[in-house]
Structure 1
Amino acid sequence: MKNYMLVILGMVTLFSINCEAQVKKQSASPKTNAIFPKGELGPAENFTGKAWAYSLVPNDTTYNTLMGNVYFEPGARSNWHIHPAGQILVITDGVGYHQIKGQPRQTIKKGDVIKCPPNVMHWHGASPDTGLQQLYILPNTEKGIVKWLHPVTNEEYSNAN
């Protein structure tokens, strides 16, 4: 009977250790759930921090539309930029920011749909503590794709007004 109790105690101990390891493993995982592959790291001249892009719909003369996925690591953001025909963002996970030049910075989160008007300077990216996953749609690409501008300053990124 004593040996039987020792075996049960050993099994409970192993189970507890395994559960603790699983909790630690889960808490170390990223704060967003990826839908698409991470893709290619965006160029440092267009982003502060790391942003990964994955193309979903390549540009062609039938649809004249680009669509892809971008994952911004916590704190990462795009430079200010302009899309000649505008841009639509669908936030699929995480928390981040979007700002149109001259307007207050907006907090964006999973489920939000953002319309960036044509020829309007704007930026978007993740919050400091949570990554951001977004789909981007660029319509009417025959008008142009993007004009990259200067980086978003730390003051602009941190300013909620």
Structure 2
Amino acid sequence: MRITRNRPESKAGPAENFTGTVWLDEIAAPPSPSRLRMFNVRFAPGAHTAWHRHPHGQVLHVLDGEGLVQRGGAEAETIRAGDTVWIEPDEWHWHGAAPRTFMTHLAVVEATDDGTTTHWDAHVGADDYAAAADEHPAA
């Protein structure tokens, strides 16, 4: 057993992968053979990820606020505190806060043998985000 009492400092989400203000806290990255990676991610209103996929899928658990999640080829869906989302392996998607509220979620992924957890792609267009938000005005 190992107890970690000091975790890395919060990091700003890099602009190449996020739109808006996002903060990442690494919660868990145990040594091999574990492949688990867990992050606490805080999105300011309107902030969201770029399109991306995870080789082994991803679990999101919303801790606070409201947000949006969208998989490739489908409409965006509202997510709220208490919701858990399972994203299939290699499923293209994006997620983030609703336009008028913060959103915090835990993100759990598994790394591949070479340490890869995420494959990033293009940013979600401003018009596409606005359309998703308009479809879900309560978000």
TM range (shorter): 0.7 to 0.9
Aligned to 2:90: 119
1:42 partnered with 2:6: no
Aligned to 1:101: 72
Matches within 5 A, 1:137-148: 137-142=108-113, 144-148=116-120
1:92 partnered with 2:63: yes
Q: Distance in 1 between matches of 2:23 and 2:53?
A: 19
Matches within 5 A, 1:10-159: 39-142=10-113, 144-159=116-131
Percent of aligned pairs sharing the same letter: 38
Question: What's the CA shift string for 1:1-44, capped at 9, x where partnerless?
Answer: xxxxxxxxxxxxxxxxxxxxxxxxxxxxxxxxxxxx98110111
Structure 2: where are the runs of 5+ without partners? 1-7
Aligned residues of 1:38 and 1:52 also touching (Cα < 8 A) = no
Aligned to 1:26: none
Aligned residues: 125
SS at match of 1:136: strand
Aligned residues of 1:59 and 1:141 also touching (Cα < 8 A) = no
Aligned residues of 1:38 and 1:71 also touching (Cα < 8 A) = no
Q: CA deviation at 1:94?
A: 0.4
Greater C-alpha Rg: 1
Q: Structure 1 residues 82, 139: CA separation in 2 closer, same or farther (over 3 Å shift)?
A: same
Following superposition, which runs of at least 4 residues in structure 1 exceed 6 angstroms of deviation? none
Q: Distance in 2 between matches of 1:67 and 1:141?
A: 14
Q: Distance in 1 between matches of 2:75 and 2:54?
A: 20
Deviates more, 1:138-147 or 1:151-160: 138-147
Counting strand residues as a fraction of each chain, which structure ranks higher? 2
Q: Structure 1 residues 94, 157: CA separation in 2 closer, same or farther (over 3 Å shift)?
A: same
Q: CA deviation at 1:140?
A: 4.9
Q: Distance in 1 between matches of 2:59 and 2:50?
A: 17
Q: Distance in 1 between matches of 2:71 and 2:48?
A: 14
Q: Distance in 1 between matches of 2:15 and 2:128?
A: 18
Aligned-residue CA RMSD (Å): 1.8
